[in-house]
Structure 1
Amino acid sequence: MKAENLAGAVNAAGRLERLPLTRYQRGIFLIIATAWLFDSMDLAAMTFVLGSIKTEFGLSTAAAGFVASSSLFGMFIGAALAGILSDRFGRKPVFQFSMVIWGVGSLLCGLCANASQLVGARVLLGVGMGMELPIALTLVSEFLPTRVRGKYSAILEGFLPVGFVAAGILIYFLMPVTGWRGVFIALAAPSLLLLVIRRAVPESPRWLETVGRNADAERTVSAIEEKVRRRSGMMTLPPIAKIPEALGVGRHSTLEILAELWRAPYAKRTLMLWVVWFFTLLGYYGLTSWLGALLQAAGYQATKSVFYTIIISTAGIPGFFFAAWLLEAWGRKKAAISMLLGSALTAYIYGQCAALKMPIGAVVAAGLAMQFFFFGMWCVIYAYTPELYPTRARATGAGMASSIGRLGSIIGPYAIGVALPVTGQGGIFAMGAVCFLISAITIAVLGQETRGISLEEVSR
C-alpha cells in the first residue's frame, strides 16, 4: 500500500482535532512550558549579570557586547540544526537532546575562569537554547486542535517574561551570596526535567504519519485518544474532524525540505519570516541585553539595576496575556503589526527618558510600557511562525527563521556596545525602534492570516 493511503488510514490530524481539551493535553503543554521557562531563565540571566561580568573581567563595552552575543551565536547554530534534525529524526529526541546541551553549557558558565572560557560556554548554552525553542513551539502546535492552537502557543511564549522575572528574582537574592557564577550553576539543575519529558511527552503523531511511520502514529494517536476519553469521562469521542490529508507523505531529504521553503506557496512566507525575525531580534536583543548594564552606567549599583530591571520586566506578563487574546480576537497578522508598532514607539520613548536622565520613576514607567509590547510581540511572532509551513517542513521552517533571527541577535548586543559611546542611549533605542518598524511593514505587505485554519489547510 502506498504511503499516501496509509496516511489516510491513520488520519492523525483529524483525530487530534476532534478531541476535547483535557488535563492530559494540558499536562503535556505544562511540561513543555516548564522546560521553556527554565530555558528562558538562562536566556535572561545575561541581562542581569552582564554589568558584573564586565566589571570583574575589566571588559570594554564592545568586549562586553561580544560576551552577551556569544550565546546568541550558539542559538543561531542550534535553531538551524534543531529544525532540520527534528523533521528528520522526530520532535521528542531533539527536544531532549537540547536540554542536555543547555544544562551542560550553563554549568560550564559557572565554572569558567576567564572571559574566553565564558564565551565558549555561552556558545554551547546557546546551541541548546536555540534547539529547544522552535521544537517546543512545533510540538505544541501539532498536539493541540486549531481552536486553541494560537492561544496556547502564545501562552507558551508567555513563559518568556515569566522566566525573565523569575531569573531576576533568583539573581537578586542569589548573586550577593554566590556571585554570577553561582547563578549559572543553579540554572543548570532544571535540565534534569528531561527525565520527565522522556516518560510523559509522546512523539508528534502528525510527524510520525508524515514520514510514513504509520504503525507508530496509530499507536500514539490511539493512546492519546484513550487518555483523553478517560479524563473527559466520555463513553465515545466526537466524530473525526474533516481535515485535508497531509501533502508529500514519506521521508524527504534535508535538501528537499530546505528547497521547499523557497517554492510556492511558501517562498513569500519564508521571505517575510526571515526579514521579521532578523530585524525583530536585532532590535530586541540589542536593547534588552543591555538594560541592566545601562542602568548601572547611569549610576545605579548592581543590585539596584537588577531590581529596576525586574520591575520593568513584570510588564511582560500582562503583555503576553493581552497578546494571547489579541491573536484570536484580531488574528495573527493584525496582532503582530500592532505589537511591533507598540514596541517601536515605546522603545523610542524609553531611550529618550534615559538620554535626558529623567527621574527613575519616569524611566521605569517607560520601561514597563516597552516590555509590555516587547513580550507581547514575541507571543504573536512565535505563535505565527510554525503555522505557516506543512508538517514535513514545519520544524525546519520555524528553525531556519529563528536561526536567521539569531544573526540579528548576535549583531545587536555587540553593535550596541560599539555604538553606545557615539550615539548615547537615546540613539540606540531609536535604532531599535526602526528595526521593529521594518518588521511591522514586512508583515503588513507579505503576511498571511492563519487564524481558525487547520495546519493542513494552511499548508495548501
Structure 2
Amino acid sequence: MDSKTLTASAGEAGHPGAIGDTGDIGEPAGTQPLSWYAEAGPRARRAFWSCKVGYMLDGMDTQMLSFVIPTLVATWGISLGDAGFIGTMTLLSSALGGWIAGILSDRIGRVRTLQLTVLWFAVFTGLCGLAQNYGQLLAARSLMGFGFGGEWTAGAVLIGEVIRARDRGKAVGLVQSGWAIGWGLAALLYAVLFSVMAPEIAWRALFLIGLVPALLVLVIRQYVKEPEVFEHAKAAQKDAQDTPRFTEIFSPKLLSTTLRAALLTTGAQGGYYAITTWLPTFLKTERHLTVMGTGGYLAMIIVGSYVGYLSSAWLTDRLGRKPNFILFAVGSMAIAFAYTSLPLTNGSMLWLGFPLGFFASGIFSGMGAFLTELFPTRVRGSGQGFCYNVGRAIGALFPVLIGALSKQFGLGPSIGMFAVAAYGVLIVAALTLPETRGRELESA
C-alpha cells in the first residue's frame, strides 16, 4: 500500500471519498499489516483504541470467575455444579445484553451504547467482590454478563463503521485480540493477589479491581465520536421521519441473511464451548494428564489465542471472509480430533495448547467485520447483535448436551461429534453467505 497523506475526513471508514475505498470486493489488502493504522484519521484511531481497551477490560472482568472458583468452593462450600450454573447464567445474560445493545446502538448511537455497557459490566463486576453469599454472587455475575455481551456488540459495530473497507477485517480483528490480553491480565492479577493476600480476601480484591474499566467511559465520552456513516443515516431517517425497527432484520429482504449469519455464529461459538468447556475434564479424568492445571499450559493457550486473533485479522482481509472462516473451522476440527482421539503425553498436551487457542479463538477475528458488512446501516446494530448472540445462547447449551450424550457414547467421542457438527454448520453457512471483503457500507 503506497504511503499517502490523509486528511481526517478521508480516514473515516464507510465514508464516501475515503482513500482506498474503491468498493471492489476483490481489492487486495495492504501488504503491511499495520499500514492501515498509519493512514487512518484521528477519529478512527480514537475509536480503535477505545474499543480495543474496552475488549481487553471486558475479557479481564469476564475471565476472573474461572480463577476464583476453587476458592469459592473451599470458602463457601458451593458445588462445582453451582459454580457452573453461574457461568451458564453469565453466558445467557450476555446473549440477551448483546441483543438489546444492538437495538440500542441503532436508536441512541454506537458510542453512547458502548459507554453504557462498559459502565454496566464494570459496576457489576465490582459488586461481585462485595457478595456475601452464593445468591448475591449469582445475581451480580448474571447482571455483569448483560453488560459484557452488550459491549461486544456496540464495540464491533463502532469499529466496523469507522475503518475503511479494505482494512476493516484487520482493524476489527485487532480489537478482538484485546480479549486475549484481558485474559492474560486476569491471570496475572490472580497470581499476584493470591500470593500476597489470604484467598478469602484475594478473590474479593480481584473482582473489585474490575471496577477500573468504568474510567474508560470518561475517555470515550470525551474523545470518541459517532461514525460518519451512522450520522448520515440518522440524519436521513430524521428528515424522512423513518425510525428503524428491530423487526426489519426479519423482513423478506434480510431474513435469509439473518438466519444464515445466526447459523454461522452458532457454529463458531458452539464449537468453541464444546472444546474449551469439557476438554480439561476429559483429559484429566480419562487420560489422567495433569498439565492442564499448570500456568504453562494456560499461558500457551492465551498466547495461541492472541496470535490466532492477529493472524486471522490479517488473513480475513487477505483471503476473504469466507475462506478465512473455513480455514479456521477446519483447523479447529483437527484440534478436536487430536485432543480426543490421539494418545497424548503431558509434553504434547502442553504444546497443543498453542494451536487450540490459535484456531478456536482466531475464528472470531473475522466475525465483527463480516456481520458489519452483511447488514445496512439503519439496522446494523440490531442485525449484528441478534445474530452473534443467538449463536452465543445456542452455543452455551452445547456443554450441557455433551454432558448428557457422554453417558451413552463417552466424553471424548461426544466432544468430537459436537465440535465437528458445530464447525460443519459454520462452513455450510459461510459457503451460502456472500463474500463481503472490501464492501462499502453504503452498499450493504
SS at match of 1:379: coil
Contact 1:47 1:290 (C-alpha < 8 Å) held by counterparts: no
2:429 aligns with 442
> How far apart are the structure 1 equivalents of 2:190 and 2:414?
26
Q: How do 1:43-62 residues align onto structure 2 when only pairs under 5 Å count? A: 43-62=62-81
Mapping of 1:257-276 within 5 angstroms?
257-264=246-253, 266-276=254-264
The one-letter code matched in structure 2 to 1:258 is T
The aligned residue for residue 154 of structure 1 is 173
Deviation, structure 1 residue 196: 0.6
Cα offsets for 1:14-66 (capped at 9, x unmatched): 15567942455323311221011100122233343344444544444443321
CA drift of 1:152 comes to 0.4
Q: How far apart, CA to CA, are the structure 1 residues paired with 2:94 and 2:169? A: 24
State the distance in 2 between where 1:83 and 1:440 align.
Answer: 25
Q: Is the 8 A contact 1:50 1:68 kept in 2?
A: no
Deviation of 1:280 (Å)? 2.2
Counterpart pick for 1:346 among 329, 335, 351 = 335
For residue 203 of structure 2, the aligned residue among 164, 172, 180 is: 180
2:217 alignment partner in structure 1: 194
The equivalences for 1:335-374 within 5 A come to: 335-352=324-341, 358-374=344-360
Match of 2:419 in 1: 432
- Maintained 8 Å contact 1:69/1:413: no
Cα distance change, pair 418–180 in 1 and its aligned pair in 2 (3 A): farther
For 1:361 and 1:422, locate their aligned partners in 2 and report how far apart those are by CA, in whole Å: 30
Structure 1 distance, partners of 2:121, 2:407, is 33
Q: 1:49 is matched by which residue type in structure 2?
A: V
Q: Percent identity?
A: 27
Q: Is the 8 A contact 1:135 1:395 kept in 2?
A: yes
Unaligned runs of 5+ in 1: 1-10, 216-247
The letter of the residue matching 2:207 is F
Q: CA deviation at 1:181?
A: 2.9
From the superposition, tell whether residues 275 and 203 of structure 1 become closer, same or farther in structure 2 (CA, over 3 Å): same
Distance 1:418 1:51 in 2: 24
Alpha carbons of structure 1 residues 433 and 183: separation in structure 2 relative to 1, 3 Å? farther
CA drift of 1:92 comes to: 1.3
CA distance in 2, matches of 1:409, 1:55: 30
Provide the rounded CA distance (Å) in 2 between the counterparts of 1:324 and 1:50.
33
Query: Retained in 2: the 8 A contact 1:66–1:413?
Result: no
Asked if 1 retains the 8 angstrom alpha-carbon contact of 2:312 and 2:363, the reply is: yes
Matches of 1:440 and 1:316, distance apart in 2: 21
- Alignment equivalent of 2:322, drawn from 326, 330, 333: 333
1:9-408 superposed matches below 5 A:
13-16=15-18, 20-22=39-41, 24-176=43-195, 177=197, 178-212=201-235, 251-254=242-245, 257-264=246-253, 266-289=254-277, 300=290, 304-352=293-341, 358-408=344-394
Decide whether aligned partners of structure 1 residues 213 and 249 sit closer, same or farther in structure 2, where only a CA change above 3 A counts: closer
CA change 1:98–1:295 in 2 (3 A) is farther
Q: CA RMSD in A?
A: 2.9
CA offset at residue 359 of structure 1?
Answer: 2.4
CA distance in 1, matches of 2:242, 2:203: 46
Deviation track 1:155-176 (CA, whole Å, cap 9, x = no partner) reads: 1112122222222222233234
Evaluate the alpha carbon distance shift between residue 172 and residue 414 of structure 1 in structure 2; reply closer, same or farther with a 3 A threshold. Answer: farther
Distance 1:65 1:427 in 2: 22
Within 2, Cα distance between the matches of 1:59 and 1:289? Answer: 19
| Separation in 2, partners of 1:276, 1:374 | 14
Going from structure 1 to structure 2, the CA distance change for 1:162 and 1:332 (only over 3 Å counts) comes to: same
Q: 1:211 to 1:309 in 2, by over 3 A?
A: same
- The gaps in structure 2 that reach 5 residues or longer are 1-12, 22-38
Q: Aligned partners of 2:305 and 2:269: how far apart in 1?
A: 16
Q: Give, in whole Å, the separation in 2 of the partners of 1:57 and 1:320.
A: 37
Q: TM-score, normalised by structure 2?
A: 0.83
Give, in angstroms, the shift of residue 126 of structure 1.
0.6
Give the structure with the higher percent helix.
1
Alpha-carbon displacement from aligned partner over 1:357-380 (angstroms, at most 9, x marks no partner): x32221122222111101210102
User: 2: CA distance between counterparts of 1:310 and 1:292?
Assistant: 15
Distance 1:60 1:332, change over 3 A: same
Number of equivalenced pairs: 408
Closer/same/farther in 2, CA of residues 268 and 249 from structure 1, 3 Å limit: farther
